[in-house]
């Protein structure tokens, strides 16, 4: 499992745990997120492993959570002349 896959898995787990803490059913979760029940179900059951950003954004918004996206800058080392 790559770091990216692990990050997505952990993020989805955290968001679903937050929804469970609010005692939302998956149907209520879908309604609050403005997503289909099928989307919430498939993500919760790990059928969908790589959700789109807009899906995560809608879920986080429904839970009053903020998501920060930062671009990672890679610096290449230059060879000394």
How many domains, in total, are found in the chain?
1
- Residue 2 is predicted with a pLDDT of 86
Length of the chain: 81
User: Quick check: is 70 in a domain?
Assistant: no
User: Quick check: is 58 in a domain?
Assistant: yes
Q: Which domain holds residue 37?
A: 3-62
Give pTM, 2 decimals: 0.78
Largest CA distance in the chain: 63
Side-chain half-sphere CA neighbours of 13 within 13 A = 6
- Residue 79 is predicted with a pLDDT of 66
User: Quick check: is 42 in a domain?
Assistant: yes
Rounded mean pLDDT for each run of 10 residues along the chain, 81 residues in total? 86 94 95 96 92 93 87 67 60
CB-based contacts of 30, cutoff 8 Å, min separation 6: 36, 37, 39, 40
Q: What is the CATH number of the domain that holds 22?
A: 1.10.260
- Residue 69 is predicted with a pLDDT of 73
Q: What's the token pair of residue 66?
A: 């903020």
User: Quick check: is 76 in a domain?
Assistant: no
- Residue 16 is predicted with a pLDDT of 95
């Amino acid at each position: 499992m790559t770091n990216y896959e692990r990050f997505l898995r952990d993020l989805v787990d955290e968001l679903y745990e937050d929804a469970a803490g609010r005692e939302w059913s998956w149907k209520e979760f879908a309604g609050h997120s403005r997503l289909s029940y099928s989307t919430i179900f498939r993500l919760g059951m790990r059928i969908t492993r790589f959700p789109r950003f807009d899906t995560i954004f809608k879920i986080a918004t429904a839970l009053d959570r903020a998501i920060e996206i930062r671009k990672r800058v890679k610096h290449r080392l230059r060879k000394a002349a």
